[in-house]
Structure 1
């Protein structure tokens, strides 16, 4: 009997220690994500000032004292750094250990339609055409987090603008199954070597965010085509 109580006491101590360790690990993860978020924010502030300064130089460079291509290089590098800080910020949000609050269930068109319209507008502004013949809206309810969904489509739009061939249409279609539904976006790749120059953080962020919303992101590509499908569970 004494051995039983001793063993039970030891097991309770071990259980308590494991809980403390688990709590400490969660706190460390949250602290790490907060640090990443703070770093991304701290970089963004001077970067915004630098971008404004570059825009002023571009507007005031009427006499061509500075070659236009040099200013364009500055702009491109600023945009590149901004893209990386945005991805860091998204990563810190996606990896947060706290439970994600989802919006109330609504039809796919209501949940996703505005984000697709915004994506279409930006792509057309960048000389892309869209094929939405297979995009069909049905009475299918899903639950999403609007903040995450906005970041996901912003990421997809930026990737298309960077790596897609504007001569070929970007195809957007919908897929419906009994327990989930998907939005599939396909584009032709402008330069296949560009796939090896990306960090892949944007795609990882999309995958994590979709998982947080009880969905999935499936990515596939070959030398000529890139496809991402966002799967949403039925609410």
Structure 2
């Protein structure tokens, strides 16, 4: 469940990318809106630093020099029924020295009547930013104080006002700066996020290559909580699993080697003895009356060898690396009958055994493999037959509680045991208990050998 929850909480890269892009777009729109509202302040700053050119002084000198060569004819302009003319036609010199951002207004000096005017070309050209960013009212509010001077025409004196629309010079640059800034605000967080994740992905790749070379101690870096982090986490779990499997195989190999060495040592003694008796019998040496005794000893040694071969088969059965065995429901009487049968067999071999069964009224049953549980009990009692003191009492106590059954077997150790075995039987019994989610422990102290195991009980509904 925990692993599933971790996977369900993983954030998707597409979702993170969308959120970053959305937030960046919001910030970009806010920035552009702020720049739009501050466009006049930006122009004021540019103007205060003299970053825009102004040719009105040169234009004033030119205008005063050229005006005496032309008639202004203010009465013609003032007469509504008279012929009206364009400034460019009657006074062509007005536009000769004008750049695209200069506007001119001409008034009759004595009466103050309007005579003619010239609008800058920049206002006539329909740029998209003129209507959106710099409408007429905005332009009028952003123009500088007009330059005012008198000019002597051939027929009268005129008052001339020269307007500057230099603010329109910065429109394209200001607009492009806003667009570029918006693109930077939108793209930089996205590119930075992609760069970081790709750099992290490259780091994970290099660590995987290290793992592929056999170094399973170097952990995979887990950073963040997205798909790449989830992949890194799974790769690190794979690394730990591989490491555990390799370690388990190494321990299994060492255990097999230990078993082979122990069995080789244990088999050497009975085989040597068996070979000696058979050689005596084959050559008809020694006292012929002892031949039946020699044959009996040979049979006993073959029985020892057969028992050891059973131990090897049992080891292969239990220690084959499997973690699961076929199980079935077994009653409490199954284990009771098995312990009683093993106790009776001890008595037949000359041992004195006493079994004490303390069972509460527990509505439960064993859930396990009948064959393996029989082998567990058989191994423990076989161990008593081989190493136990036949003159001492063997104590078997069984206690059934609410959730488990506990069995303790205690016997005295013979002063001269037949041999010191490899304890494969005890290891096998311990493994069987573990396969049933139980446990087995043994200890030797003051000439007593005690083994205790417990198995879980399943309560009946």
| Fold shared by both chains (TM-score > 0.5) | yes
1:57-104 CA-to-partner distances (Å, cap 9, x unmatched) read 9xxxxxx66523312321222122222222222222221222322423
* Native 8 Å contact 2:325 2:435 kept in 1: no
Asked if 2 retains the 8 angstrom alpha-carbon contact of 1:180 and 1:231, the reply is yes
Residues of 2 paired with 1:147 and 1:210: CA distance? Answer: 12
Matches within 5 A, 1:1-235: 1=195, 2-10=198-206, 14=211, 15=235, 18=239, 67-110=291-334, 112-132=335-355, 134-138=356-360, 139=362, 140-191=364-415, 193-194=416-417, 197-235=420-458
Superimposed CA distance per residue, residues 17-55 of structure 1 (whole angstroms, 9 cap, x where no aligned partner): 84677667778959x97xx9xxx9xx9xxx9xx9xxx9x
Deviation at 1:178, TM superposition (A): 4.6
Deviation at 1:182, TM superposition (A): 0.6
CA distance in 2, matches of 1:224, 1:108: 32
**What is the rounded CA distance, in whole Å, between the counterparts of 1:179 and 1:209 in structure 2?**
19
State the TM-score, normalized to the length of structure 2. 0.39
**Over aligned residue pairs, what C-alpha RMSD do you find?**
3.5
What is the deviation of 1:160? 1.5
- The higher-RCO structure (CA 8 Å, 6+ apart) is 1
Alpha-carbon distance change, 217 to 195 in structure 1, aligned in 2, over 3 angstroms: farther
- In structure 2, the residue corresponding to 1:143 is in which secondary structure? strand
Q: Distance in 2 between matches of 1:93 and 1:123?
A: 26
Counterpart secondary structure, 2:357: coil
Distance in 2 separating the partners of 1:186 and 1:153:
13
- How many residues align structurally? 209
Shift of 1:217: 0.9
After superposition, give the CA deviation of every residue in 1:190-210 in whole Å (9 maximum; x if it has no partner): 22x539722222211111221
Q: Which secondary structure state, in structure 2, belongs to the residue aligned with residue 199 of structure 1?
A: coil
Q: Is the 1:109–1:137 Cα contact (8 Å) retained in structure 2?
A: no
The whole-number CA distance in structure 2 between the counterparts of 1:212 and 1:102 is: 10
Name the CA distance, whole Å, in 1 between partners of 2:205 and 2:432.
42
Q: Is the 8 A contact 2:359 2:400 kept in 1?
A: no
| Change in CA separation of 1:74 and 1:98 when aligned onto 2, cut-off 3 Å | same
Q: Distance in 2 between matches of 1:201 and 1:171?
A: 23
Deviation digits for residues 111-143 of structure 1 (CA, Å, limit 9, x no counterpart): x123213212321221223212x2133424332
Q: 1: distance between equivalents of 2:348 and 2:429? A: 24
Q: 1:165 to 1:221 in 2, by over 3 A?
A: same
Of 12-21 and 223-232, the range deviating more from structure 2: 12-21
Counterpart contact for 2:359–2:401, Cα < 8 Å: no
The 10-residue stretch of structure 1 (3-12 or 199-208) with the greater mean CA deviation from structure 2:
3-12
In structure 1, list runs of 5 or more residues that go unmatched.
58-63
Distance verdict in 2 for CA 1:173–1:85, change over 3 Å: same
- 3-state SS, counterpart of residue 233 of structure 1: strand
Cα displacement (A) at 1:183: 1.1
User: How many angstroms apart in 2 are the aligned matches of 1:156 and 1:178?
Assistant: 25
Structure whose CA Rg is larger: 2
Q: Structure 1 residues 25, 165: CA separation in 2 closer, same or farther (over 3 Å shift)?
A: closer
